[in-house]
Amino acid sequence: MSRRPTGHAVLGGFLAAAAQLASAGLLLTSGWLIVRAAEHPPVLYLMVAIVGVRFFGIGRAALRYAERLVAHDLALRRATGLRVEAYGHLRRAGVVALAPPRTTADGSGLRSGDVVRRVVTDVELVQDGYLRLRLPWVSAVVSCSAVVVVVGVVEPRAGLVLALQSALTLGALRVLVPRTARRPDGDDGGTLAADLTELVHAAPDLVALGVPVAQRTAADTSVDALARADRRGSRLDGLGHAVVLVVAAAASGAAVLLAGAPSPALAAVVALSPLALLDVLTAVADAERLRPEVAAAKERVAALAARAAPLEEPTGPPVEPTGFDLELRDVGVGWPGGHPGARGLSLEVPAGSVVAVTGPSGSGKTTLALTLARLLPTREGDVTLGGVPLDRLRGSQVRDVVGLLGQDATVFDTTLRENLRLGRPDATDDAMTTALAEAGLDDLVSGSVDGLDLEVGERGCRLSGGERQRLALARLLLAGHRVLVLDEPTEHLDEATAERLLDDVVSLRGRHTVVLLTHAPAVLARADHVLTLGGVPHGSAVATRVSV
């Protein structure tokens, strides 16, 4: 989305400056009128000033309303475009955008709360760059110039004093406030957002274990850091406003002393002219305190964009896989910029077979699953799908065939129907019912009067753990994926539930290629092939294959 000035931006700046000029005109005209009326002249001498007061009073309100309407419309449009771009960056980056710090060698990964803050709060801060940073400066420059010219016509020496006041105040605010407002201690708001997100997600487990204090202490530390930064910002606000007031008071006194106004009424205009610029100069002080925050927000949004497209898409003519068999040839996997993961993986997975991948925690099973779905690049070797290397297929092509079910399947607070539609938006009720039956959830639908309109609750809280996994599996089946990569599908399930889920998964043999990442011996016993990852330092692994 273009950031260059547009017609709406220019119009917003014009209206902001016009509203401020109307405010200054109201103050100066009112001052002249009050002093002149105290001399008891014929009322006709005051009519022009009376009309001027009405004109500037009504004009200030009307222009301010129009400025708010135009400027906020433009700002909201830009914010919408920025947010769409940010979501686009997340979509292109995939799991790399959410890579936790532990997956990267330098700890530069993002926590989920930080990602949310970049997409929401930082986009709003970038929007503020126009509303609360550029507009005040446009209004200040135009207003100060116009008032200096008007006062200079009345009394040149007073105009010179006013010009010096404007230049000194604007220069001091531009140099001093951003420099003192810059936070040396990092992104307090991002740390707090990430800490609170982790605390909320972990709250049920922490309460159940009776150890919420440590996690809460980390969040309290972030709150204290942000509170200190806010107090520092408040002091800077006071400093900026003090600079404006002191310079304005000095300018007002100097203008009165130096001016040789021909009448008391014009002397009042000269004395009030520095005060007429107080509002606009105070707005500049507030804008300059915001400047470092806007700059930091732009950097964080740009950093999110830099994480996009970790995988190079093929540039040649499109190639389609001829089947849904998988083959790994000396494959090495790992997170970009992180420690090496599993390596030396070689395995042929015939179409329609069931393969289990096992190994100790940290050996690279989940990383392998993300690589098979082309969400992460291979570090070495080749993975082929239907005889075609994955790096010759677009990510969307691979994910049309390969469906990934993670350990914690996402279930939304809506109906079964809407959760299933994530897999295929145009699916019919019959297709949904068939997918649920294949996943072993037909009893849930038939046993409820709501059927597919059954509400599952927040994060699927109205379903059991096994039912949530089955719902996620049904979503993959409905989407038409021929290769199913299931990461710990029986984790956290009791033995009976895990056995039933495993029966349903194994029954897909022949129609789907199934890759199971698991620790469970019962799963290994049901697989056609087993790939074992042996852990070595830093999470790398060497694979061995055992046929079953």
- Both 266 and 339 in one domain: the answer is no
Number of domains in the chain: 2
pLDDT score recorded for residue 63: 93
- Both 133 and 242 in one domain: the answer is yes
* 393 part of a folded domain: yes
Give dist(CA 195, CA 185) in Å, integer. 16
Q: Are strands 354-358 and 513-517 parallel, antiparallel or unpaired?
A: parallel
* 81 part of a folded domain: yes
* Phi then psi dihedrals of residue 346, to 5 deg: -135, 125
* 318 part of a folded domain: no
* 1 part of a folded domain: no
> Using CB atoms within 10 A of its CB, is residue 189 exposed (0-12), middle (13-18) or buried (19+)?
buried
pLDDT score recorded for residue 185: 47
- Both 218 and 252 in one domain: the answer is yes
Supply the DSSP string of 453-516, one letter for each residue: G-B--GGGTTS-HHHHHHHHHHHHHHHT-SEEEEESTTTT--HHHHHHHHHHHHTTBTTBEEEE
* 238 part of a folded domain: yes
- Both 331 and 457 in one domain: the answer is yes
CB-CB neighbours of 238 under 10 Å: 11
Give dist(CA 490, CA 480) in Å, integer. 22
What is the token pair recorded at 162? 């006013």
Cβ atoms of residues 71 and 130 within 8 Å:
yes
Enclosing domain of residue 502: 326-547
- Both 331 and 279 in one domain: the answer is no
Q: Which of 274, 306, 338 is the last residue of a domain?
A: 306
DSSP state of 334: B
Give dist(CA 113, CA 222) in Å, integer. 13
pLDDT score recorded for residue 222: 67
- Both 260 and 408 in one domain: the answer is no
DSSP state of 415: B
Q: Which of 277, 306, 335 is the last residue of a domain?
A: 306
- Both 56 and 89 in one domain: the answer is yes
CATH number for the domain harbouring residue 493: 3.40.50.300
- Both 288 and 367 in one domain: the answer is no
- Both 180 and 81 in one domain: the answer is yes
Would you give the distance in Å from CA 262 to the centre of its chain?
60
Supply the DSSP string of 211-263, one letter for each residue: --HHHHHHHHHHHHHHHHHHHHHHHHHHHHHHHHHHHHHHHHHHHHHH---SS
- Both 250 and 373 in one domain: the answer is no
* 315 part of a folded domain: no
pLDDT tens series, the chain, 548 aa = 444 457 788 888 899 999 989 998 998 899 888 888 888 888 888 888 899 899 999 999 999 999 999 988 888 888 888 888 888 777 766 666 565 555 544 445 566 667 777 778 888 888 888 888 888 999 999 988 998 888 888 888 888 888 888 888 888 888 887 777 655 445 556 666 666 777 776 677 677 666 655 556 666 776 777 677 777 767 766 777 777 777 777 777 776 666 665 678 877 888 888 888 888 888 888 888 888 888 888 888 887 777 665 567 777 777 888 888 888 888 888 777 666 677 788 888 888 888 888 877 777 788 888 888 888 888 888 888 888 888 888 877 888 888 888 777 788 888 888 888 888 888 888 888 888 888 877 777 777 777 788 888 887 788 877 788 888 888 888 888 888 888 887 776 677 777 877 887 888 888 888 888 887 777 777 788 888 876 543 334 444 444 43
Is the whole-model pTM more than 0.75? no
- Both 452 and 528 in one domain: the answer is yes
Give dist(CA 493, CA 505) in Å, integer. 15
* 192 part of a folded domain: yes
What is the token pair recorded at 525? 């016993």
What is the token pair recorded at 374? 């082309």
CATH number for the domain harbouring residue 150: 1.20.1560.10
- Cβ contacts of 101 within 8 Å, gap of 6 or more: 107, 108, 109, 110, 111
* 249 part of a folded domain: yes
pLDDT score recorded for residue 495: 76
pLDDT score recorded for residue 539: 39
Residue type at position 187: D
- Both 441 and 526 in one domain: the answer is yes
